A and B are shown apart, each in its own frame.
Chain A
Amino acid sequence: MIEFKTLLFYLFSAVLVLAALRVITARNPVHAVLFLVLAFFNAAGLWMLLQAEFLAITLVMVYVGAVMVLFLFVVMMLDINVERLRQGFWSYLPLGALIALLMVGEMSLVLGSGYFGAEAFPGSQVTADASNTKELARVMFTDYFFPFELASIILLVAVIVAVMLTLRKRPGNKAMHSSEQIAVQRNDRIRMVKMAVEVDAPAAKGE
């Protein structure tokens, strides 16, 4: 009898592969994005089986909860003609296949060699009941402190650049400033004018 975990692994993997296939075959781009979400979810399930609960939950939180929501936000508003996108599929296939083969080769080199095995890293020999998150944080903020900080600075630069690229200063922009609106005084809006009482002249009699 197979173990329950093995069964779960095959279930997650099968759904993951099917969802990933549907991402590139779905005719509707919104369906494709939703299948990608499903794929992420199943990948998180696989990581959970590997007892990497921090990575699994972060994958759901960052990719499913934030990145894909914004992706969906954009894709929903686009009018994508899938038929036109599919033209020239066969002419691009050799190049695509070459890149795919290269990636598979690289991945097998990385996974097959001992460089990235569990034994190659310090602090990986932790017991199963240790807090995954705590161990990861300890390694990240001690041994890998500078790479971690460097990565975050690069991300910060990317954020600022993205904002700067889309920020347009247009003349005559009527953006509101809440602080000014709140600070407004009565005299800024109303001017009291004193004037003499106007009395309608009574109509002359006998006309």
Chain B
Amino acid sequence: MDELLAPVKALLGPAFPLVWTMVKIVGILAPLMLCVAYLTFWERKVIGWMQVRIGPNRVGPWGLLQPIADGIKLFLKEIVFPTKADKPLFVIAPIMALAPALAVWAVVPFSDGWVLANIDAGVLFVLAIGSVGVYGVIIAGWASNSKYPFLGAMRAAAQMVSYEVSMGLALITVLMVSNSLNLTAIVNGQAEGRFADMGLSVFSWNWLPLLPMFVVYLISGVAETNRAPFDVVEGESEIVAGHMVEYSGMAFALFFLAEYANMILVAAMTSLFFLGGWLSPVGFIPDGFHWFALKMSAILFFFLWIRATFPRYRYDQVMRLGWKVFVPLTLVWILVVGVWMMSPLTIWN
């Protein structure tokens, strides 16, 4: 690789690191956007099959060009500004929703060493940038100067702050057992242990010893991305579409892209923290990016599955689950893991 790049390096001189980083960013974002587009298609197909329908099948073979057609349609539509909207904030809001969802991918390792920025405090970075995403929703709700968007913004603020708490507390146990905040180190830490030595690395991943935290993290992830059954922020039957009511065209599409990019991100994070990232479940098959992709796809399918299965939570039930069930559960489990690590029965050393 270095030999191949040598002439490019000589040509660009000091600007090479900048250009090379840009190339890497495009290399991450372009496939990501493609995944987002086809995740929407896959969602419609899966939910269609679950409801004994066919789903989109008109545009292209098996309907495969449907997301492209949707994108072109949204791109060509006019963006309507409500009369008394706060125009600068109205424009910034969708950008604020999408930008954090993309920025977090900088620290996601796709395989051993395949990472844009291998920073020490990777987990903190993910939590910090992830928590900024809520501003897009709140600003959209306020800037629209309309009732339903405002209600959506209120709900979004309360819900996302609540579930960040349980998400962060669930991650503390992961940090405790892996003794690092670096995402690559967290994955590599899951490759060690008694079962991994027997060639069954699947049982040494964090999901088994931290099973309650795995469940809490996954469900909080669904709530954090405002997906069904926690989609009270949009709640079509109550507040039409929440913060997105007044948006049209590409501005609306950005919110849509942000939601799906966040879904893929939560899937990636869950597989890194609890499902061993790119590690192979058994010893005789090599590790690699394909395992990471497979685990992410399974979690994304789970997201679509629960959307087709469960009715929407009532708003007070969402809050109750976050504060009265998940937070106490995670606090107790942190204590359990702490005692377990210090006891002679520890499996992490």
Contact = CB atoms under 8 A, between A and B. Distances in A.
Interface of A: 30, 34, 37, 53-54, 57-58, 60-61, 64-66, 69-70, 72-73, 76-77, 131-133, 176, 178
A176 B316 contact: yes
A60 B128 contact: yes
A54 B124 contact: yes
Contact of A69 (B120, B157, B317): B157
B154 interface: yes
Contacts of B138: 69, 72-73, 76
Given A61-B128, A65-B164, A131-B121, 4 more contacts: A61-B124, A64-B128, A69-B135, A73-B157
Nearest to B181: A133
Nearest to A72: B138
Interface in B95-146: 119-121, 124-125, 127-132, 134-135, 138-139, 142
Nearest to B138: A72
Contact of A133 (B121, B128, B157, B158): B121
A131 B124 CA distance: 13
Nearest to A65: B131
B153 A76 contact: yes
B320 interface: yes
B317 A65 contact: no
Contacts of A131: 120-121, 181
B142 A65 contact: no
B161 interface: yes
Main secondary structure of the interface of B (DSSP, over half): helix
Interface in B294-344: 316-317, 320
A53 B120 contact: yes
Contacts of B134: 65, 69
B142 A57 contact: no
Contacts of A65: 127-128, 130-132, 134, 164
B121 A64 contact: no
Contacts of B132: 60, 64-65
Contact of B139 (A34, A58, A176): A34
B52 to A, nearest CB: 31
B317 A70 contact: no
B120 A73 contact: no
Contacts of A72: 138, 157
Interface string B202-242: 00000000000000000000000000000000000000000
Contact of A178 (B157, B164, B320): B320
Nearest to A68: B135
B161 A66 contact: yes
Contact of B135 (A37, A70, A77, A132): A37
Contacts of B150: 76
B142 A30 contact: yes
B124 A57 contact: yes
A64 B154 CA distance: 17
Nearest to B320: A178
Given A60-B132, A69-B161, A76 B142 contact: yes
A9 B130 CA distance: 25
Contact of A57 (B121, B157, B161, B316): B121
Top 3 A-B pairs ranked by shortest CB distance?
A: A65-B131, A61-B128, A60-B128
14 contacts: A34-B139, A61-B124, A64-B128, A64-B131, A65-B130, A66-B161, A69-B138, A70-B161, A73-B157, A76-B150, A131-B121, A133-B120, A176-B316, A178-B317
Q: Which of A37, A58, A65, A76 neighbours the largest number of chain B CB atoms within 10 Å of its CB?
A: A65
A69 B320 CA distance: 20
B315 to A, nearest CB: 12
A66 B164 contact: yes
B128 A132 contact: no
A70 B154 CA distance: 10
Contacts of A176: 316
A138 B53 CA distance: 58
A37 B157 CA distance: 15
B37 to A, nearest CB: 29
Contact of B121 (A53, A73, A77): A53
Given A60-B129, A133-B181, A53 B119 contact: yes
A66 B125 contact: no
Nearest to A30: B142
A174 to B, nearest CB: 12
A67 B124 CA distance: 17
Q: Which of B121, B134, B181 neighbours the largest number of chain A CB atoms within 10 Å of its CB?
A: B121
Contact of B131 (A30, A61, A76, A178): A61
Contacts of A30: 142
A81 to B, nearest CB: 18
A61 B134 CA distance: 12
Nearest to A130: B120
A85 B139 CA distance: 24
Contacts of A178: 317, 320
